[in-house]
């Protein structure tokens, strides 16, 4: 979740946690309105549903939220909490998640700022990274396309490979459209906007410089991928519900 927000300031943990818990208690007692919602990014798609407070035990707070939110929270092991009663968004860690009953217990509440909400376009992660080629500085580089939006794409390149921001490249991209449908394949000019070197790879973000027809094809893939991701969340909930239902029936037996 840290890639979606500003670094969390832990310096004033004691003061902020007391303030946050006090607001939760006031909401739970009915002294102030409950406008709490939770926010996660499941493979790039924002999952944002209301939540109600079930109980507070020391610095642990139990909530009930939407079924799909519990799946996203279980994957991230954290969630953002939004409320007009707080000066900023809150990042909270998971203590436990009970998917069928839609209950989550959270801890370690800290103020943060969700940067992803300032994005102008939805960015979706591919189901699996796809091999892609980049014509860069008179050489052809093999990389893996990991996510894409209407205006940009993130590509993982070999570790130690240096790319200069502002450099123009040509990307050869193939986007999967699901079983029975042909892939979308195209070339597009792109400018390197960001390059982050890691131990095992270099993550590069390219600003795509396609025309209206190109953007229409990207938008088609994004719509398809959004549908896939929502279906993945739904199926994950059903699967977890079946597993925990089976455990409960064995326990009764």
- Domain harbouring 101, CATH code: 2.30.110
Could you tell me if residue 81 is inside a domain?
A: yes
Crossing angle of helices 67-76 and 212-252, in 10° steps, is 100
Measured CA to CA, the distance from residue 53 to residue 28 in angstroms comes to 6
Same domain, 80 and 156: no
Mean pLDDT of 112-129: 83
Torsion angle (degrees, nearest 10) of CA 224, 226, 227, 232: 130
The token duo for 44 is 């790039």
- Is residue 156 domain-shared with residue 108, that is, in the same domain? no
pLDDT class of 248 with cuts at 50, 70, 90: low
Helices (H), 30-166: 67-76
φ/ψ of residue 235, rounded to 5 = -70, -35
77-91, 160-174, 220-234: range with lowest mean pLDDT = 160-174
Are 138 and 191 contained in the same domain? yes
CA dist 201 and 132 (Å) reads: 15
Domain count, the chain: 2
Mean pLDDT calculated for residue range 198-216: 92
Residue 236, domain member (yes or no): no
Which residues make Cβ contacts (< 8 Å) with residue 178, sequence separation at least 6?
Answer: 224, 228
Please report which confidence band the pLDDT of residue 246 belongs to, taking 50, 70 and 90 as the band edges.
confident
> Are the C-beta atoms of 60 and 68 separated by less than 8 Å?
no
Q: Where are the beta strands (DSSP E) in 37-183?
A: 37-42, 45-57, 60-65, 78-82, 89-98, 103-112, 124-136, 139-148, 152-158, 168-175
- Determine the 3-state secondary structure of 246 from DSSP: helix
Is residue 79 in some structural domain? yes
Considering the entire predicted model, what is its pTM? Answer: 0.84
Indicate the SS3 state at residue 8.
Answer: coil
Q: What is the pLDDT of residue 146?
A: 94
**Same structural domain, 131 and 213:** yes
71 and 103 co-located in one domain: yes
Averaged confidence pLDDT in the chain: 90
Residue 148 and residue 156: Cα distance in Å, rounded? 12
Asked whether residue 156 is domain-assigned, the answer is: yes
Q: Are residues 104 and 173 both part of a single domain?
A: no
Instruction: State the CATH number of the domain containing residue 187.
Output: 2.40.10.220
CB atoms within 10 A of CB 155: 28
Q: What angle do CA 229, 230, 233 make, to 5 degrees?
A: 90
Provide the residue range defining the domain that includes 220.
124-228
Is residue 134 located within the same domain as residue 218? yes
Q: Quickly state the pLDDT bin for 251 (edges 50, 70, 90).
A: low
Evaluate if residue 249 carries a pLDDT over 80. Answer: no
Asked if 143 and 163 sit in the same domain, the reply is yes
| C-alpha to C-alpha distance for 97 and 91, rounded to whole angstroms | 16
| pLDDT tens by residue, 28-62 | 999 999 999 999 999 989 999 999 999 999 999 99
Closest CA to 237 of 101, 110, 136: 101
**What token pair was written down for 234?**
């739904």
Query: Is pLDDT above 60 for 253?
Result: no
């Amino acid at each position: 979740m840290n890639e979606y927000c500003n670094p969390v300031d832990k310096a004033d943990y004691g003061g902020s946690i007391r303030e946050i818990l006090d607001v939760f208690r006031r909401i739970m007692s009915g002294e102030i309105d409950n406008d709490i919602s939770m926010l996660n990014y499941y493979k790039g798609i924002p999952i944002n549903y209301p939540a109600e407070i079930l109980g507070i035990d020391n610095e642990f707070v139990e909530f009930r939220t939407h079924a799909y939110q519990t799946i996203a929270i279980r994957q991230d092991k954290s969630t953002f909490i939004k409320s007009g009663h707080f000066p900023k968004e809150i990042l909270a860690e998971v203590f436990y998640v009970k998917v069928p009953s839609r209950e989550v217990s959270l801890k370690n509440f800290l103020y943060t700022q969700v940067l992803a909400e300032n994005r102008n376009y939805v960015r979706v992660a591919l189901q699996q990274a796809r091999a892609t080629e980049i014509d860069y500085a008179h050489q052809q580089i093999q990389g893996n396309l990991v996510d894409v939006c209407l205006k940009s794409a993130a590509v993982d390149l070999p570790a130690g490979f240096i790319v200069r921001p502002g450099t123009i490249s040509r990307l050869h991209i193939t986007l999967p459209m699901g079983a029975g449908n042909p892939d979308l394949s195209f070339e597009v000019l792109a400018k390197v906007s960001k390059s982050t070197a890691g131990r095992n790879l270099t993550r590069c973000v390219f600003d795509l410089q396609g025309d209206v027809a190109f953007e229409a094809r990207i938008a088609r893939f994004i719509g398809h991928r959004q549908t896939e991701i929502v279906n993945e969340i739904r199926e994950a909930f059903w699967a977890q519900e079946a597993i925990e239902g089976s455990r409960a029936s064995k326990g009764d037996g």
